[in-house]
Structure formats: structure tokens, C-alpha cells
Amino acid sequence: MKFCIVNADDFGADTGINRGIAEAHTSGIVTSTSLMVNMPGTEDAVELSRKLPGLGVGLHVNLTNEGGPTVVDLDDETACRVEILNQLRRFRLMTGGLPTHLDAHHNIHRDARLRQIFVELARKYGLPLRESCQVRYLSKFYGQWDGETHLEQIAVDSLLGMLETEVEPGFTELSCHPGYMTEGNSSSYGMEREFELATLCDSRVRDRIEALGITLISYRELPILHTVGEAG
């Protein structure tokens, strides 16, 4: 069977992005999101999530910010470890529970200086860590590279093709970045967010998912499904 987690990064970045992610869940195919706990829209995101019980919420560790200084010196292993743990503590304090999964802004968990910290944290709390668990990470649904916008990459036809050729038997995470741009948002990924949102909410996408026999899940269902699969 094919299971797909459609995960929206940057929940909490600001209210416009939060609103777009919520809409992509209620009117589109987003099943999961990753919360930033040290951004202007964090509290708004947590409040929204309480109204969306079907939306899985993981932790999007933010050490890099947007266009400004990093949160912490990335060469200081101790400081990074403390900051990551503090962000997990804040997540638990604000939401009342553990995240469904663990990933990081700008995929900083890949950084050789930090990778072991993320691996140890994921292992300690039993959290799926992006690119280090049984879920294949599909990052092609992204509309910018080399500083240039590529809306064709996040158009409906492109996503339909990815669903058909890239979602394999087992578990796949399709990452996305929907949202509405608001004044003062410093993200370099701007108009692309609203284009993504329209694609994710297009009825043709859900129709293709059903036709391909893909089951949409969040990371919340992953441990149960994985156990059942192993038992079978």
C-alpha cells in the first residue's frame, strides 16, 4: 500500500502562513505540519491547531531564521543542543504533548555539526526524524531554486506527476510550503506559497490521489500503521 504524509513546513512563521496551512488542511490535502516555536506567529499557530484535531503537528526546529542572524552559533555544539532542547520543551509546554515528528527549518538537521543531536533527540523520544526514519522524503514540490521562481514545478500537472511517479509503496512525506504573504514577511519564498496553496486545494489533486490508491495520513498514524505492516 502507498501512504502519503503531506507536511506543510513553517507553521508559526506568521499569521498569513498559518492561515494558508490551515486552509490547505481543511480544503486541500495537507495532513501534517511542522511548528516553529520561536516565531511571530507561534501562538496563533498553536491556537489554530486546537481547532484542527485532524492535523498532525511536529516540531520545525528553527536555528537559522529568515534573512537575519542565526538563533545560535552553529559551531557551538553545546549551545545548539541547549537551544534544540529548549524548543522541544516550549513545544510541549504550548501544545501539551510531544510533536508527531521532528524536522528543521532549512533542513539544518542535515548539517554535520548538528545531525547527531537531532538523531539522539529523535531516538530518546521515539520521534520520526525527517530522512532518518521509514518515511521517504519527497522535496520536489518546491517552486524556487538558484534564486529564481519556478511556478511550473508547483503547478497542478507537476504535482499530479509526482504523485504518480514518486509516491512508492510504503510511506512518503511530500513536503510543501503553502501560505498567504503578509506585509513584513521576510521569507524569500513568497508568491510561491500562494501558488502552492491553490495547487494543494485543487480537486484534481485529491481525485488523482484516490485513483492511485494513495492513503493520506499524518505522522500521528505512522507508528500504528508501521507496526501493523510489520506484523503482516
Q: Where are the domains of the chain?
A: 2-231
Q: What is the pLDDT of residue 226?
A: 61
Q: What is the pLDDT of residue 182?
A: 84
Confidence of residue 94 (pLDDT cuts 50, 70, 90): very high
What does pLDDT average to over the chain?
Answer: 93
Looking at the chain, the whole-number percentage of residues with pLDDT higher than 70 is 94
Quote the pTM value. Answer: 0.93
CATH 3.40.50.300 at 2-231, yes or no:
no
Confidence of residue 67 (pLDDT cuts 50, 70, 90): low
Q: What is the pLDDT of residue 231?
A: 41
Q: Is the pLDDT of residue 44 over 80?
A: yes
| Separation CA 79–CA 43 (nearest Å) | 25
Confidence of residue 175 (pLDDT cuts 50, 70, 90): very high
Confidence of residue 55 (pLDDT cuts 50, 70, 90): very high
In the numeric block, the cell 545560535 is attached to 72
Q: pLDDT for 111-151, tens place per residue?
A: 999 999 999 999 999 999 999 999 999 999 999 999 899 99
